[in-house]
Amino acid sequence: MAPLGWYSAGMKRYLVALAAAVFFASLPATTQNRLPAQPEAVVQSLYEQVVAQHPHGIPEGSDWKIFAPYLSKGLRHRIDLARACAADWDRQSPDAAKIVSAFGLFSGDEAAPEAFQIEKTEAGKDGSLRVSLSLTREKPPQRPWTWPVAAVVVREDHHFVIDDVIYVDNHIYDREADRRHQRLSEYLSAGCDGHRWNAYTLPNQPEAFVRSLYTQVVARRPVGIPGGEDWKVFAPYLSKALLHRIDSALACGADWDRQFPDPNLKPEIGWLELGLFSGGDDELELRTFQVESTRSEKDGSFRVYVRLTWGYPPERPWTSSVAATVVRENGRVVIDEVTYLKDKPEDTEWRLSDGLSSGCDGPRWVGVREKTSK
């Protein structure tokens, strides 16, 4: 049989549709046809499975058979594209570090809720229903943590199904415009161009590449190591070495949690409140950027200088500067380091890699021990 790549686009669509039809025909009738008949009951049933199964990332195998019947055709298609995009990343960059996120499609950054409660159901202007829930995680000795999500429910083929999930941003902001609700559909498509990983569609010239990166930084203003949708957006910009450093930093942070489980202790992790690409500690104030110049280095890398502007009226704006180190890797340019430049003579110049490794010996947290031994 010829490889799929030899078929026409129409034939490919036919084969995909046929495979999907065969898969759903193989599901037990109890899961296909006996979902609850009311929107809240469908959401109740889905999240009972989420609490029981704790699915991480895109469900596979037996987990997919459990969750697929709850989902709309459109959402299943978006999941199929995201799965293909992830496989394309693996093919194009097989030796790059892959951060195993605890992201849960139905719960957000925290993938292991232990309880939930349906709060309310509201009708949308498009005819959908939004079922709001509170999810709770209890992990002694830490305090219980509750966060909100909302399931978007639509009617399809005489059944109610889940068409999207909203990860509700319930933080307190001085400016309402800073609030960013995110969606499952956005997470699935982030970092992807349909079924393809979008790294090779990014600009391939150092200055344009850095401009593309900082357009995302100003739009998303990530704090700490990005997660969820933001991680999928920023990961294609990073070198293998920087991805490995981030992987070690996350492992070190997890080691700190193991060593110091007291919920009243504030972690001393250097990157936790750091804007990785700006060096700032209050990314909500980041306003604009300007690429100022590019310098070629003797080792073949490029140093791209960026001026960042902070502050919103009525505050008087202020500026800071960074230099992004750009290297070539696998036929494209990537960010290998960010240097936070001195704005005043008394300031200290430092680097992103310093923030990631502060207090760590690779994946192990040693900062407290060193501090105690003095």
Final residue belonging to a domain, choices 150, 167, 201: 201
List, edge to edge, every strand of the sheet that includes 350-351.
286-296, 302-310, 318-329, 332-340, 350-351
Tell me whether residue 3 is in a domain. no
pLDDT on residue 130: 96
Among the listed residues 84, 120, 86, the one whose alpha carbon sits nearest the alpha carbon of residue 103:
86
Same structural domain for residues 33 and 91? yes
Angle between helices 73-92 and 9-25 (to 10 degrees): 120
Final residue belonging to a domain, choices 201, 230, 260: 201
Segment 17-25 mean pLDDT: 47
Segment 53-70 mean pLDDT: 91
- For the ranges 287-296, 302-311, 339-348, 364-373, the lowest mean pLDDT is seen at 364-373
Same structural domain for residues 50 and 88? yes
Total number of domains constituting the chain: 2
Tell me whether residue 1 is in a domain. no
Alpha carbon distances (Å) from 374 to 361, 366, 369: 18, 13, 9
Tell me whether residue 238 is in a domain. yes
Residue 239: pLDDT band by 50, 70, 90 thresholds? Answer: very high
Question: 252-267 as b/e, with b when 16 or more CB fall inside 10 Å?
Answer: bbebbeeeeeeeeeee
Helix then strand then coil, in percent of the chain rounded to 5, is 40, 25, 35
pLDDT on residue 151: 97
pLDDT on residue 176: 79
Work out the number of other CB atoms within 10 angstroms of the CB of residue 129: 20
Q: CA 353 to CA 232: how far, in whole Å?
A: 20
Domain of 26 in residue numbering reads as 8-201
Q: What is the pTM of this model?
A: 0.78
Is residue 292 predicted with pLDDT exceeding 60?
yes
Tell me whether residue 2 is in a domain. no
| Token pair of 329 as six digits | 């890797």
pLDDT digits (tens, 9 = 90+) for 165-216: 999 988 887 777 778 889 999 999 999 999 998 888 999 999 999 999 999 9
Tell me whether residue 20 is in a domain. yes
CA angle 345, 348, 354 (to 5 degrees): 165
pLDDT on residue 13: 44
Tell me whether residue 264 is in a domain. yes
Same structural domain for residues 371 and 344? yes
The average confidence (pLDDT) of the chain is 84
3-state class (DSSP) for residue 318: strand
Say what the alpha-carbon torsion angle 345, 286, 236, 365 is, to the nearest 10 degrees: 60
- Residues found in the chain: 374
Same structural domain for residues 155 and 274? no
Same structural domain for residues 112 and 208? no
Residue 2: pLDDT band by 50, 70, 90 thresholds? Answer: very low
Maximum average pLDDT range among 42-51, 95-104, 168-177, 359-368: 42-51
Same structural domain for residues 168 and 280? no
Tell me whether residue 185 is in a domain. yes
Is residue 32 predicted with pLDDT exceeding 60?
no
Same structural domain for residues 271 and 128? no
pLDDT on residue 98: 55
Given a contact cutoff of 8 angstroms between Cβ atoms, the answer to whether 245 and 356 are in contact is yes
Residue 374: pLDDT band by 50, 70, 90 thresholds? Answer: very low
Final residue belonging to a domain, choices 201, 219, 252: 201
Exposure of 33 by Cβ count < 10 A (0-12 exposed, 13-18 middle, 19+ buried)? exposed
Among the listed residues 4, 64, 1, the one whose alpha carbon sits nearest the alpha carbon of residue 195:
4
Same structural domain for residues 57 and 188? yes
Same structural domain for residues 22 and 136? yes
For residue 277, give the CATH number of its domain: 3.10.450
Among the listed residues 100, 85, 271, 75, the one whose alpha carbon sits nearest the alpha carbon of residue 183:
75
Segment 21-35 mean pLDDT: 51
Same structural domain for residues 15 and 116? yes
pLDDT on residue 33: 57
pLDDT digits (tens, 9 = 90+) for 248-288: 999 999 898 888 887 778 888 888 888 999 988 776 688 99
Residue 95: pLDDT band by 50, 70, 90 thresholds? Answer: low
pLDDT on residue 214: 97
Same structural domain for residues 79 and 125? yes
| Token pair of 274 as six digits | 């750091």
Given a contact cutoff of 8 angstroms between Cβ atoms, the answer to whether 67 and 59 are in contact is yes
Same structural domain for residues 99 and 209? no
